[in-house]
Amino acid sequence: MGMINANLLKMFNNLMNLAKEKGQTINLMEVCGTHTMALFEHGIRSLLPENINLVSGPGCPVCVTGEEVIVEAMDLIENNTVTMFTFGDMMKVPGEGRTLNELKAQGFPIKVAYSPRVALEFAEKNPKIEVVFFGAGFETTAPALGAVILEAFNKKLNNFSVILSVKTVPPAIHFLFSQEIRINGFILPGHVSAVIGAKSFRFITEKYQVPAVVTGFTAEELLLGISLVVNSILKREPGYYNAYPTVVREHGNIVAQKIISEVFEIGDAYWRGIGNIPSSGLFLKEKFAKFDAKKKFGLKDRQPIIPRGCKCGEIMLGKVLPPACPLFGKACTPEKPVGACMVSSEGSCAAYFKYGRR
Amino acid sequence: MCLAVVGKVEKIEGELAIVDLGGVLQPVSLVMVPQVQVGDFVLIHTGYAVEIISEEAYNETMELLKELRWE
C-alpha cells in the first residue's frame, strides 16, 4: 500500500465519529515499540476521539531487558579482554547509572552492529580476539540470533559468545489478562507475527473474547488495523484479523521457527518494570553452552534492580499513562532514564516525552 | 527493535543475497527464506531476510475494507 487510500480514510473517520457518538471508553493496546513510534509519527493519535485511548504495552525488547543484564555486560567488558558488539539502542541504557556509551568513550572496545553476523564475521577474521555479542529481542530477532549461534557452532568458533535477553510476546499477553487489564482491543506486532504466524495470537479473541488485529507500520496499515478493531468493538462481535497478509502468514515462517527451537529452550523470564512472566524467555540449550558468555567468563547471577517510584510496570500493563508517573520528565528523561519505558526511543514514556500527549 | 526494511533481491550467492535497499546494496542472509528468487522483495531484519513479500496478498488487505461497511 502506498498513498493513503481515500476510501479507507473516509471509513476510518466515519468509524471514529460513530465511536464518539456511542461514547463508550475504548482502550486499544499496541504491543510493539515500532507501532508506538509510528502511531505518534503519523499523527494517528490526533485523529482519535477523546474516548479512544491508545495504550502502549510491553512492546520494546530493550525496555524490558533487566537493568542487571546491562550491568552484567558492563562487568564483562571491564574485567575481561573482549571486544563487544551490540545493537545501537543498547548503548544508552543505564545500568547502575553507567552506560555502554560511557565505557566506549573511556576506550573499551564496544562496537555497534546492525546485525549479529557482523560480530560473527569479526570473530572469524580475528581468531585471537574474544568476541561477545550482546543483544535483546523478541521473536523477530530470535531466529537471527539463533542462526548466528548455529553458524558459530558449525564453524567450531572458540572466540565467540553471547549475552542475550530474548523474550516472547504471547506469554506476556496471557500475563496481561491475568492482571485484570481494561483493554478492549489489541494492535498486534507485524514482524513478530511474520515469524510466529498470525495463529499465535488468536487466543486473544478465542479465549478472552477481545478483538485483535495483526498490522503493519505504514499510516494506511495502522488506520486499517485500528478501524477493524474499533469496528469489531462497536459491533460487539470480537473479530481477529490479519491486516498484514503481504508479510504475515497464518503459520508464520516455519524455517525461522525451526531455528528458534533448535537453539533455544523456553523458560521463565524477568521483564523490567513488570516482573517474572512464566515461559516468556528463550535461553540457549545446553548443546550451545560454550557460546554463553556468562558461563564462559564466570559472571555471577545478579538480582533484578528495581528503581524506586517508577510506574513503568503499571504503564506497560495499561493501568496508567506515562504523565501519571511522578518521575516522568523530571527525574526520568530520555537523557537520564530511570525506568524501562524511557530507556529506548521505542518505549512508551520516551515516545510521550518526544511527541507530547497526542 | 523489530524494525525491518524491504529490499529487492538482486543477486544470490549461496546463503547470501545482495539486496537493493533503495539504491544501497547490502548483503543479506537467506537462511530463513530458502525458496527466495532473484527479483523477489524481502523483509529484512538485523541482516536476515525474515519473509518474502507476497504481492498476491495485497488484495486480501483490500478485502478487509468490506468488513467496515455499516448497513
**DSSP conformation letters of A168-215:** -HHHHHHHHHHTT----EEEEEHHHHHHH-GGGGTHHHHTT---EEEE
Residues in a beta bridge with A282: A166, A266
User: What is the band of A358 on the pLDDT scale with cuts at 50, 70, 90?
Assistant: very low
Provide CB contacts within 8 A for B66, sequence distance 6+: none
Contact at CB, B43 and A194, closer than 8 angstroms: yes
Arithmetic mean of pLDDT over chain A: 93
pLDDT of residue B35: 96
Minimal Cα–Cα distance from B4 to chain A, Å? 8
In chain A, % of residues over pLDDT 90: 80
Calpha distance A299→A76 (Å, rounded): 7
Using CB atoms and an 8 Å cut-off, which of residues 82-141 of chain A contact chain B? 87, 89, 114-118, 136-138, 140-141
Close Cβ partners of A304 (under 8 Å, ≥ 6 residues apart): A66, A67, A68, A270, A272
> Lowest-pLDDT range, A36-45, A252-261, A314-323?
A314-323
Q: Is A358 helix (H, G, I), strand (E, B) or coil?
A: coil
The domain that holds B20 is classified in CATH as 2.30.30.140
Q: Is A154 on the interface with B (CB under 8 A)?
A: no
| Residues of A whose CB is below 8 A from B2 | 32-34, 61, 137-138, 140-141, 189-192
pLDDT at B50 over 60: yes
Residue carrying C-alpha cell 516455519 = A254
- Nearest CB among B2, B54, B57 relative to A189 is that of B2
Give the distance from residue A1's alpha carbon to the nearest chain B alpha carbon, in angstroms.
8
Q: Please, are residues B1 and A89 in contact by the beta-carbon 8 Å criterion? A: yes
pLDDT tens-digit series, residues A145-158: 999 999 999 999 99
Encode pLDDT of A156-196 as tens digits: 999 999 999 999 999 999 999 998 888 999 999 999 999 99
Q: Map grid coordinates 460487539 to a residue.
A: A236
Contact between A286 and A300 under an 8 Å Cβ cutoff? The reply is no
Higher pLDDT, A124 or B58: A124
Instruction: Read off the pLDDT of each residue in A327-341 and give the average, rounded to a whole number.
Output: 90
Is B1's CB within 8 Å of A33's CB?
yes
Assess B5–A contact: CB distance below 8 Å, yes or no: no
Residue B32 to residue A147, Cβ atoms within 8 A? yes
Q: Which three cell numbers stand for residue A268?
A: 521463565
Q: Which fold has domain A17-303?
A: Rossmann fold (3.40.50)
Domain extent, residue B40, equals 5-67
Taking the C-alpha atoms of residue A87 and residue A112, their distance in angstroms, rounded to an integer, is 6
Helix (H) or strand (E) holding A56: strand A52-56
Mean pLDDT score, A279-292 = 98
Strands A130-137 and B16-21: unpaired
**Residues A69-112: tens digit of each pLDDT:** 999 999 999 999 999 999 998 998 888 889 999 999 999 999 99
- All cell numbers assigned to B51: 519473509
Contact yes or no for A33 and B2 at CB 8 A: yes
* CA of A143 vs chain B CAs: smallest distance (Å): 8
**Which alpha helices (DSSP H) does B1-71 contain, by range?**
58-64
Residues 6+ apart with CB under 8 A from A261: none
What is the pLDDT averaged over residues A288-292? 98
Please judge whether B45 and A191 are an interchain contact, meaning their C-beta atoms are less than 8 angstroms apart: yes
Largest CA distance in chain A: 68
Q: Residue A291 pLDDT more than 80?
A: yes
**Per-residue pLDDT, B62:** 74
pLDDT at A219: 93
**pTM of the shown model:** 0.94
Contact A146, A262 (CB under 8 A): yes
Q: B55: distance to nearest CA of chain A, Å? A: 6
User: Does residue B39 have a pLDDT over 90?
Assistant: yes
Q: Given an 8 Å threshold on Cβ–Cβ distance, is A243 in contact with B61? A: yes
**How many beta-carbon contacts under 8 Å exist across A and B?**
120
What is the 3 state secondary structure string of A116-164? HHHHHHHHHHCCCCEEEEEEEECCCCHHHHHHHHHHHHHCCCCCEEEEE
The answer to whether B34 contacts chain A (CB < 8 Å) is yes
Alpha-carbon gap, residue A316 to A52, rounded angstroms:
17
Query: Hey, are the CB atoms on A245 and B57 less than 8 Å from each other?
Result: yes
Asked if A270 is an interface residue toward chain B (Cβ–Cβ < 8 A), one would say no
DSSP for A333-355 reads -SSS--SHHHHSTTSHHHHHHHH
Q: Count Cβ atoms within 10 A of the Cβ of residue A327 and give its class: 0-12 exposed, 13-18 middle, 19 or more buried.
A: buried
Record: contact B47-A117, CB cut-off 8 A: yes
pLDDT for B69 beyond 80: no
For residue A198, the one-letter residue type is A
Distance from CA of A300 to the nearest CA of B (A): 28
How does residue A1 score in pLDDT terms, banded at 50, 70 and 90?
very low
Q: Is B14 on the interface with A (CB under 8 A)?
A: no
The CA-atom distances, in angstroms, between A76 and each of A11, A89, A127, A148 are: 54, 19, 19, 21
Residue B38's nearest CA partner among B15, B19, B58, B21 is: B19
Every domain range in chain A assigned CATH 3.40.50.11740: 17-303
Looking at A42-46, A79-83, A114-118, which range is the least confident one? A42-46
Overall domain count for chain B: 1
Which of A117, A118, A253 is nearest residue B50 as measured by Cβ atoms? A253
- Which sign, positive or negative, has the C-alpha torsion B42, B43, B45, B51? negative
B15 in A contact zone (CB under 8 Å)? no
Nearest to A89 among B1, B45, B58 (CB): B1
